[in-house]
Structure 1
Amino acid sequence: MALAARLWRFLPLRRGAVPGSWVTAGTSGSRRHCGPCRFSGFEVMGNPGTFKRGLLLSALSYLGFETYQIISQAAVVHATAKDEEILEQADYLYESGETEKLYQLLAQYKESEDAELLWRLARASRDVAQLSRTSEEEKKLLVYEALEYAKRALEKNESNFAAHKWYAICLSDVGDYEGIKVKIANAYIIKEHFEKAIELNPKDATSIHLMGIWCYTFAEMPWYQRRIAKMLFASPPSSTYEEALVYFHRAEQVDPNFYSKNLLLLGKTYLKLHNKKLAALWLTKARDYPAHTEEDKQIQTEAAQLLTSVSDKN
């Protein structure tokens, strides 16, 4: 009965007719039987044969529509499941340190409309660019490629904190190829996206750490760059070591020992603030951090050298 009721919407009506509810006959209160049947007082056109054919075609149209909906929904579910599978593979490769395999996997889906996939592809492109065996020419191409993927991820989903984070990171990388003026101009945009990433996900230690790096970088800016910045901009970006310290500590509170570089920068920031005791504490943690990556090894070496320097000055 439900199917039959829904099929009435597809019945052919006389020109000018509009579908409506059944009307009652006389005073009996019963529904009119189809002699000609009426929707809101309009007759259904045609003889009984035409009516039957119309009903059959309507049924087929309806069933075809229902089938289309089912197939479409199944396709969406299948596509979603496939996307999830790709993301799971990508995350596994990332955690395993399989940088090039990860890039090769995700590059197959570079035309994707999925922000989650696109920001991962931006990250993978950047990671390949950072490999020591990547040539300078290839590195530059990958850096710009990464920015494009991050930009698309952001366009697809402005509420995705990782898209904001990786757009900011990739924009910073591009600045190395576009000169000091562009780099300083981009700094404002980079800061905005790091802040947005933190707002969207306050528990992401990496975004907080990166905001700390932003502050540390501008606190450490050489005098000649400050002079250039003042010539180019009325209010050039600026920060302090104290601000950087707040972000580095906040990142540790969110996720203790999540990143060797955060430990190193805590030590270096305390050195800038002439607090050797706390500097030594964090530099020791950075030196003793288990090395899982090439970067971890570099940080261990730098931390050890800084500790030696601190000891020599005591």
Structure 2
Amino acid sequence: EVEEVIEQADYLYGSGETEKLHQLLVQHKNSDDAELLWRLARASRDLAQLSSTSAAEKRQLAYEALEYAKKALEKNESNFAAHKWYAICLSDVGDFEGIKTKIGNAVVIKEHFQRAVELNPKDATTIHLIGIWCYSFAEMPWYQRKIAATLFATPPTSTFQEALRYFHMAEEADPNFYSKNLLFLGKTYLKLNNKKMALLWLGKAKDYPAHTEEDKQV
């Protein structure tokens, strides 16, 4: 039963059938299966990302997604995808709760991403997301740094060099897997004043075939 649902879910995910996928998986929200639950978290988040979803629904779906991911982790602590989606959903909820919560959750988010990579070193998306985490902290404005200093004895910090290392690691794990990784390689090289490399990667991002709404935005 569970295997069949997962097979069906993965087919719908591969076909970009976001609404149908969510309808299928939400019927199993009381499941004890971590594989089903993290997929439901991802599907809820994907539904929230659609431009046709209202602001109120986006918020509700973000909180539901976090609950499902949390439950997936409780059911199987060694499931890499449960760690990955818990971190992503926790970050999303931070967008609704404001900058203090977002910075406060940052350390937990990074820990779950790192745990996901330990469990699955080939998952390029998670490595990319650690890069994004580093990039955000490297370019954090002074007023946010002040908030971070009040929340942590030792506030989390990062550098563009560290971000670059993760974006390259993601590219090595799965070359050309994601338009946004190419874009951020370019953006990070710009921050490091390496125009030649920046142009190389930004060119690759521009020429990337658009499959999703996000690719088109890139």
TM-score by length of 2: 0.98
Distance 1:265 1:114 in 2: 35
Instruction: Please say which of residues 166-175 and 222-231 is displaced more in the overlay.
Output: 222-231
Give the count of matched residue pairs.
218
Aligned to 1:106: 25
Higher relative contact order (CA 8 A, sep 6+): 2
Alignment equivalent of 1:121, drawn from 40, 43, 52: 40
* 3-state SS of 2:153 partner: coil
Which structure: greater helix fraction? 2
Larger radius of gyration: 1
Contact 1:266–1:279 (8 Å) recurs in 2: yes
Distance 2:180 2:58 in 1: 22
1:139 and 2:58 correspond: yes
Aligned to 1:246: 165
Aligned to 1:74: none
Which AA in structure 2 matches 1:191? K
Aligned to 1:178: 97
Alignment of 1:1-314 (within 5 A): 82-299=1-218
Contact 2:104–2:148 (8 Å) recurs in 1: no
Aligned to 1:305: none
Distance 1:278 1:94 in 2: 34
In structure 2, list runs of 5 or more residues that go unmatched.
none
Contact 1:184–1:236 (8 Å) recurs in 2: no
Poorly superposed stretches of 4+, deviation over 4 Å: none
Which AA in structure 1 matches 2:180? K
Distance 2:152 2:46 in 1: 32
Deviation at 1:291, TM superposition (A): 0.4
TM-align CA RMSD = 0.7
* 3-state SS of 2:72 partner: helix
Distance 1:142 1:182 in 2: 18
Deviation at 1:182, TM superposition (A): 1.5
Distance 1:238 1:217 in 2: 9
Distance 1:233 1:251 in 2: 29
In structure 1, list runs of 5 or more residues that go unmatched.
1-81, 300-314
Distance 1:180 1:292 in 2: 32
Q: Give the fraction of aligned pairs with identical amino acids, expressed as a percent.
A: 78
